[in-house]
Amino acid sequence: MTAAAKVDPDSKVCRCGHDRIHPMVSAVPKYSGVGWAAILIGISWEPQSISFKCRVCDDTLGTLTSPAEMKKVRLYG
Protein backbone atom coordinates (compact mmCIF):
# COMPACT_ATOMS: atom_id res chain seq x y z
CA MET A 1 0.00 0.00 0.00
CA THR A 2 1.40 3.39 -0.95
CA ALA A 3 1.47 6.44 1.29
CA ALA A 4 -1.14 8.10 -0.92
CA ALA A 5 -3.53 5.20 -0.29
CA LYS A 6 -3.32 5.74 3.48
CA VAL A 7 -4.31 9.42 3.30
CA ASP A 8 -7.88 10.32 4.20
CA PRO A 9 -9.52 11.61 0.98
CA ASP A 10 -11.24 14.44 2.90
CA SER A 11 -8.01 15.75 4.44
CA LYS A 12 -6.48 19.01 3.25
CA VAL A 13 -3.26 18.94 1.29
CA CYS A 14 -0.78 21.81 1.00
CA ARG A 15 0.88 23.10 -2.18
CA CYS A 16 3.70 20.56 -1.69
CA GLY A 17 1.27 17.65 -1.48
CA HIS A 18 1.71 17.02 2.27
CA ASP A 19 -1.24 16.18 4.51
CA ARG A 20 -1.63 16.48 8.30
CA ILE A 21 0.16 13.20 9.04
CA HIS A 22 3.23 13.91 6.88
CA PRO A 23 6.53 14.36 8.80
CA MET A 24 7.04 17.83 7.27
CA VAL A 25 3.77 19.09 8.80
CA SER A 26 4.07 20.37 12.36
CA ALA A 27 1.41 20.79 15.06
CA VAL A 28 1.76 24.37 16.28
CA PRO A 29 0.04 25.15 19.61
CA LYS A 30 -1.39 28.59 20.45
CA TYR A 31 -1.45 29.56 24.13
CA SER A 32 -3.10 32.38 26.06
CA GLY A 33 -0.98 34.90 27.98
CA VAL A 34 -1.50 32.96 31.21
CA GLY A 35 -0.60 29.75 29.38
CA TRP A 36 2.72 31.20 28.19
CA ALA A 37 3.50 32.47 31.69
CA ALA A 38 2.83 29.00 33.13
CA ILE A 39 5.01 27.32 30.50
CA LEU A 40 7.87 29.76 31.11
CA ILE A 41 7.98 28.80 34.79
CA GLY A 42 7.72 25.07 34.01
CA ILE A 43 4.02 24.28 34.39
CA SER A 44 2.20 22.27 31.71
CA TRP A 45 -0.73 24.11 30.12
CA GLU A 46 -3.33 23.18 27.54
CA PRO A 47 -3.23 25.24 24.34
CA GLN A 48 -6.22 27.26 23.09
CA SER A 49 -5.85 25.76 19.62
CA ILE A 50 -3.50 23.67 17.50
CA SER A 51 -2.73 24.54 13.87
CA PHE A 52 -1.12 22.14 11.40
CA LYS A 53 1.49 23.94 9.32
CA CYS A 54 3.69 22.69 6.47
CA ARG A 55 7.37 23.48 7.10
CA VAL A 56 8.15 23.60 3.38
CA CYS A 57 5.48 25.91 1.89
CA ASP A 58 4.13 27.43 5.15
CA ASP A 59 0.49 26.51 4.33
CA THR A 60 -1.90 25.90 7.24
CA LEU A 61 -3.76 22.61 6.83
CA GLY A 62 -6.35 23.15 9.54
CA THR A 63 -6.88 24.13 13.15
CA LEU A 64 -8.26 22.19 16.12
CA THR A 65 -10.04 23.99 18.95
CA SER A 66 -11.94 21.12 20.59
CA PRO A 67 -10.24 20.02 23.84
CA ALA A 68 -11.11 16.38 23.13
CA GLU A 69 -9.52 16.48 19.67
CA MET A 70 -6.46 18.40 20.90
CA LYS A 71 -5.72 15.72 23.50
CA LYS A 72 -5.28 13.20 20.66
CA VAL A 73 -2.44 15.25 19.11
CA ARG A 74 1.10 14.62 20.29
CA LEU A 75 2.85 17.99 20.19
CA TYR A 76 6.44 17.14 20.96
CA GLY A 77 8.74 14.19 20.55
Write down the mean pLDDT value for the chain.
84
pLDDT, tens digit (0-9, with 9 covering 90-100), for 5-34: 344 445 689 998 998 889 999 999 999 999
Return d(Cα 28, Cα 77) in angstroms, integer.
Answer: 13
Return d(Cα 43, Cα 29) in angstroms, integer.
Answer: 15
pTM: 0.75
Return d(Cα 47, Cα 65) in angstroms, integer.
Answer: 9
Does residue 77 surpass a pLDDT of 70?
A: no
